[in-house]
Structure formats: structure tokens, C-alpha cells
Amino acid sequence: MKSEKSNLKRLDNIGIVVENLDEAIAFFAELGLALEGRAMVEGEWAGRVTGLGNQRVEIAMLVTPDGHSRLEISRFLSPPVAADHRNAPVNALGYLRVMFAVEDLDETLARLGKHGAQLVGEVVQYEDSYRLCYIRGPEGLLIGLAQETSNRN
């Protein structure tokens, strides 16, 4: 339900910072996202947005098959990375994970396993609605996968 006072149009993208941009692109492409573009973002204007001053960041924008959601993957060249939250436990405060809906969870896990993905816990059935799991993807990133198992209205 849209609030009458909201000017919100959509969730534009989710950003993830990585060390190896090529590896992350390959992983998310295997999951089913398409590389929309890749660019260098640098200069004083970018630093004014992030508060980091003069920065140099290589980014890749990936889009989901439906064209509605995007994932921005960034690799900071300068300034250097200041903190590392990749191995935070599932109950850590702050941004945690990205959840993707997939057609075939077992097949997806098999493909992503070839890119180093590992289950965090188990694949579980939630009621008669979803099969769910968390995996650690490239660089330990936490990713959720969900396969709908019933026709929901």
C-alpha cells in the first residue's frame, strides 16, 4: 500500500563492495543476472555523494531477468576499504543479505557451488510455500535463495 505522503518510486539498486569485481560478476551472472554496464566512478563529485573525498571506484551494474531490480557491485581503488563485514553472522546488525527468487533451488546451488558458494545452514521447507537457504558467495557475501513451492495468490 503506497502512502499518500511518499514520493518513493522504487528500489533502484543494492550496492555491494568487493575486492574482486570479475569474480563477483561471474558469480552473479551464473545466478542469472545480466551485466548492464561497467564503469569507473571517480572524482570530487563522487566523493561529495559518499563523503569519502576524492575517490576512484570501479562499478558493475547487474540487472535481474525481469528488468526491475539491479545489483551494483563496487571495487574501491581509493580510498582504501575501511571495514570488512563479509563474515558477519546472520544475526549481525546492519545490512545483511540479498535474497533472490529462483526456479530450481537444487540446480542453482549446484551451479553456484562451482563458483565456491557454500551453504550457511541447510535448505529448509517453509510451510508449503518456499524452499529457502542462505549461502556464502564470492568473498563470503551472504545471499539468500528462495524457490516458491506452491501457487500463492
Looking up residue 124, the CATH number of its domain turns out to be 3.10.180.10
Least confident residue range of 33-47, 74-88, 106-120, 126-140: 74-88
The domain of 46 spans 9-82
CB-count burial class (<10 Å; 0-12, 13-18, 19+) for 33: buried
Beta strands 70-78 and 14-17 are: parallel
pLDDT of residue 151: 62
Grid cell 521447507 in the structure block, residue: 125
Least confident residue range of 13-22, 61-70, 85-94: 85-94
Domain boundary (51, 82, 113) is at 82
Domain boundary (82, 105, 137) is at 82
pTM of the model: 0.86
Domain boundary (47, 67, 82) is at 82
